[in-house]
Amino acid sequence: MRISRSPWLLHYDGSSCNGCDIEVLAATTPRFDVERFGIINTGNPKHADIFLCTGGVNAQNQDVVRQIYDQMPDPKVVLACGICACDGGIFKECYNILGGTDTVIPVDVYVPGCAVRPEAIIDGVVKALQILDDKKRRMKQEGYRSLTSEEYRKQLEEKRADGVKSDA
Amino acid sequence: MISTYGMAAILIYLVCSPFVASILSGVDRVVTARMQGRRGPSVMQAWWDLLKLFGKESTSVNDIQKILVAAHCFFAVFSGAIFFGGGDLLLVFFSLTMAEVFLILAAYSVNAAYSEIGAQRELLQMMAYEPMLLLTSVGFYLSTGSFAVSDIIRTDIPLICKMPGFFIGLCFILVIKLRKSPFDLATSHHAHQEIIKGLTGDLSGRIYGVSELAELYEEILMLGMAGLFFITSDPVSIVWALIAVAVVMFAMSLIDNVFPRVKWELLLRYSWLVTFFAGGTNLMVLLLQAKGL
């Protein structure tokens, strides 16, 4: 059984202007009806397969994003929806914004747009489903395990240190 | 002693229930979607959801949670097996309550806020439907002189004729038992409820799958109870019972869609009113009949 037949989704609003959130909700309305793909908006990280994040990550909610991500059982994928979630968008230079979702957790699919359109969200989710299936297969065959947010943070720090060295 | 038919019925119940119940909830989801002007998922959706859960990693806060959820599933299956094996309705009732208690204990054991609120609401929910379930068993006893399902199905006229009030009451609590209408209660199927998933909020992966499996077994048991009102000694009555169950299922979807935002306070009040008036009146009539008045 492919896991992509039953993707449960968790939607978290980082620090978006709510434009993308309204579009995410629009995707669940009768016009776009994501439930036809078996997608359920669960609201519970322990039941979710897809973490859909809108808006940039700020100094206050970075721990929340990390915790939600860590609580999700494997296999899981992260979907950054909207330009703010991809790299910070127009809030990028703000003093409290760290950047996109990938500043704290590993992101699998980036869906740009301001605001992101429901069609693009559905496209992104369909793309995420392929990755989800692939992760499930690797989990079975090679014992694959997603990075925890702590491992990801260390990886980022190492990369940054290497970058500083090469610059010097 | 269980008859050969009883054994066969138990075996069919144990093997087929998960699949049949998930197809039923799949159909229910499609019907709901059509009522809302959507296309809806595949009929197989609930089955795929169940299989997926068993393929996911499970994380648990403590080991006792696993045992409690397993006990919940065991007792849910056990009560269904008693029912379809032709056993005692009271035993079914107590075993079903036991199953619920284990799930509530599992929710309390994780010490998480949402699970705890969910468990409290599940207790309130039990308070709402248990009187009606018990009264229904008593109603069956008064109309047939036995609590055993194998005796109840030997009746000559369908019991719905003698106990319409109990049937209405049972249909009312089925809305709760099938996790439908009270959207803020415990582990309602609706998204966007204030306590996330409540009771099952802290179950994940395989452990959640086991609790879902128990729910599917319970669903078949509850529908079986609704069907019991239509079964007589005539084998053709099984067809009538199946039709009745289908109508009840459709009515549940309809009620759920017409009243999508019923809260637990309202439901508790109404379920007791319905129990008192529909169940109580019917009970009185049966008692008077038994006294020969």
Three-state SS string over B9-24 comes to HHHHHHHHHHHHHHHH
Here the ipTM equals: 0.84
Q: To probe the interface with A, which of B204, B211, B257 has the most A CB atoms within 10 Å? A: B204
Residue B133 domain boundaries: 4-290
Helices (H) and strands (E) in chain B, counts: 11, 0
The residue that leads in pLDDT, B95 or A36, is: B95
pLDDT (0 to 100) of residue B1 = 58
Domains held by chain B: number:
1
Kindly state the tokens that stand for A160. Answer: 């940054």
* Local confidence band at B101 (pLDDT 50, 70, 90 cut-offs): very high
List chain A residues with CB under 8 Å of B51: 1, 6
Please give the pLDDT value at position B267. 80
In eight-state DSSP terms, residue A89 is G
A75 at interface of B, judged by CB pairs closer than 8 A: yes
B246-282 pLDDT, tens per residue? 999 898 888 888 877 777 778 888 888 888 888 888 8
A35 touches chain B (CB under 8 A): yes
User: Searching chain B, which residue's CA lies closest to the CA of residue A4?
Assistant: B52
Query: In chain A, count of helices (H) and strands (E)?
Result: 5, 7
Inspect the interface and report whether the beta carbons of B208 and A43 lie closer than 8 Å: no
Question: Please, what sign has the CA dihedral across residues B120, B123, B129, B131?
Answer: negative
* Chain A from 76 to 135: CB within 8 A of any B CB: none
Are B256 and B175 in contact, with CB atoms under 8 Å apart?
yes
Smallest Cβ–Cβ distance between A5 and the set B29, B40, B48 belongs to: B48
More confident residue, A63 or A115: A63
Is A46 at the interface with chain B, CB within 8 A? yes
What percent helix, strand, coil does chain A show, rounded to 5? 50, 15, 35
What's the confidence (pLDDT) of residue B71? 93
pTM of the model: 0.88
Question: Which of A36, A40, A74 is nearest residue B57 as measured by Cβ atoms?
Answer: A74
Contact flag B41-A43 (C-beta cutoff 8 Å): no
pLDDT at B29: 87
Its CATH class, for the domain covering A3-167, is alpha beta
Q: Tell me which chain A residues have a C-beta less than 8 angstroms from the C-beta of B199.
A: none
Provide DSSP, B138-205: HHHHHHHS-SBHHHHTT-SS-GGGT-HHHHHHHHHHHHHHTT-SBTTSTT-S-SS-TTTTGGGTT--H
pLDDT for B200 equals 78
B262: alpha, beta or left? (left if phi > 0; alpha if psi -120 to 50): beta
Average pLDDT value for chain A: 86
Mutate to test the interface with B, among A28, A32, A44, A67 (most CBs of B within 10 A): A44
Give the residue from A68, A46, A44, A49 showing the smallest Cα distance to A6.
A49
- A167 pLDDT band, cuts 50/70/90, is low
Whether pLDDT at B188 is above 60: no
Alpha-carbon distance of A154 to A43, in angstroms, equals 28
Q: Which of A72-81, B192-201, B236-245 has the lowest mean pLDDT?
A: B192-201
Partner-chain contact A35 B41, CB within 8 Å:
yes
pLDDT beyond 60 at A144? yes
Which CA distances in Å does A132 have to A138, A150, A167, B55, B252?
10, 21, 36, 12, 34
**What residue ranges do the domains of chain A occupy?**
3-167
Query: How does strand A8-13 pair with strand A40-41?
Result: parallel
Over residues B113-139, the pLDDT tens digits come to: 888 888 888 888 888 888 888 888 888
Q: What pLDDT is recorded for position A162?
A: 83
Which residues from A are below 8 Å from B201, CB to CB? Answer: 44, 46
Residue B191 has pLDDT above 70, yes or no: no
Among A100, A8, A166, A37, smallest CA distance to B56 is for: A8
pLDDT in tens, B69-82: 999 999 999 999 99
Is the CB of residue B270 less than 8 Å from the CB of residue B128? Answer: no
Residues of chain B that touch chain A, judged by Cβ-Cβ distance less than 8 Å: 29, 33, 36-42, 45, 48-49, 51-52, 55-59, 191-192, 196-197, 201-205, 208
> Which residues in chain A have Cβ-Cβ distances shorter than 8 Å to B205?
73
Cβ separation A3–B55 shorter than 8 A: yes
pLDDT at B77: 93
Is A36 an interface residue toward B (CB < 8 Å)?
Answer: yes
pLDDT in tens, B141-157: 888 888 888 888 888 88
Give tens-digit pLDDT for B200-209.
778 888 888 9
The reply to whether omega before A75 is within 30° of 0 (cis) is yes
Helix (H, G, I), strand (E, B) or coil at B234: coil
* Contact state of B52 with A6 under an 8 Å Cβ cutoff: yes
| Tokens linked to B198 | 């409540």
| Mean of all residue pLDDT scores within chain B | 84
Interface residue A148 vs chain B (CB under 8 A): no
Closest CA in chain B for residue A9: B191
Q: Which residues of A151-167 are buried (b: 16+ CB within 10 A; e: fewer)?
A: ebbeeeeeeeeeeeeee
Cβ of B192 within 8 Å of Cβ of A41? The answer is yes
Which residues in B lie closer than 8 A to residue A41 (C-beta atoms)? 191-192
Do B56 and A5 form a contact (C-beta atoms < 8 A)? Answer: no
Neighbours of B3 (CB within 10 A): 11
